[in-house]
Amino acid sequence: MPPAAITNALTIDVEDYFQVSAFAPYIDRAGWDARECRVERNVDRILALLDEHGATATFFVLGWVAERYPQLVRRIAAQGHEVASHGYGHERASDLAPPDFDADVRRAKGVLEDLSGTAVAGYRAPSFSIGPGNWWAFDALAASGHRYSSSIYPIRHDHYGMPDAPRFAHPVADGLIEIPITTLRMLDRNLPSSGGGYFRLLPYAVSRWMLRRVNTVDRQPAVFYFHPWEIDPGQPRIDGIDAKTRFRHYLNLERTEGRLRSLLRDFEWGRMDRVFLAGA
């Protein structure tokens, strides 16, 4: 196990299977309400898993989901987890004009605070979509009362990524820090080491080794993320998607929950706000 002093941040992006950005070319958002929603049952499974291991986490919840499943947001908060924002409608921050982005984050923050009864400090942009082209988004987050963002993944990827960004928490606006998704620095490049599709692709032992290196060599807490649909191999299949998207989305769904159990046993996990904002 990593040094006892290191508590890592476990995060869940609360969106349903049909809302992922890679499916946007295939699924009209106007038809979301007609789809079978599975997010509530999957989050409840995650809550039970966390309770079983005595772990707490941060749930970045879509405002769209929160409005349709208000009791789910209340259960997350009541069980001691942090409720944070994933925006309202899962639109990439880079696709929104400043007024639309501001309206989206304020709408989501208001919904989540009303339902949870707690202040929402954190925000994660869908698809890690804040970067050099829309740095103004950090000022908008600070102005709307957020205290941290977790919207940058310092890797090179065809859908997202800012490989030259700082790897660990750093200030980005007045009163706002960015807490990037964790990477491991090796061979002059950043390697993804913190969840998502890579956690399903790589053997669990590789993910464990990378996270331990961050804890023991960098002496930094890691930020790990996953989605509720990643523990749901029975989710409806989307027809007509390209081979790359199909591979990325459906790979090893049946193995994710078991790997998460190992992760919860092998590391100490807590909420983003308590890992990074305590004493701030």
pLDDT by residue (tens digit) across 135-170? 999 999 999 999 999 999 897 655 565 778 899 999
Give the separation between CA 252 and CA 132, rounded to whole angstroms: 33
The domain locations on the chain are 8-276
Q: Is the pLDDT of residue 1 over 50?
A: no
Are the CB atoms for 242 and 28 separated by under 8 Å?
no
Do 150 and 11 contact (CB within 8 A), yes or no?
yes
**Domain 8-276, what fold?**
TIM Barrel (3.20.20)
Q: Is the pLDDT of residue 3 over 50?
A: no
Question: What are the beta bridge partners of residue 27?
Answer: none
CB atoms within 10 A of CB 10: 29
Output the CA–CA distances (angstroms, integers) from residue 213 to 162, 194, 209, 224, 274, in the order listed. 21, 12, 6, 14, 22
Q: What is the reported pLDDT for 2? A: 44
Compute the distance between CA of residue 85 and CA of residue 144 in angstroms, rounded to an integer.
12
pLDDT of residue 280: 58
Q: In percent, how much of the chain has pLDDT > 70?
A: 95
pLDDT digits (tens, 9 = 90+) for 74-85: 999 999 999 999
Predicted confidence at residue 56, as pLDDT, reads 98
The structure tokens 């919207």 sit at 151
- R_g (Cα) of the chain, nearest Å: 17
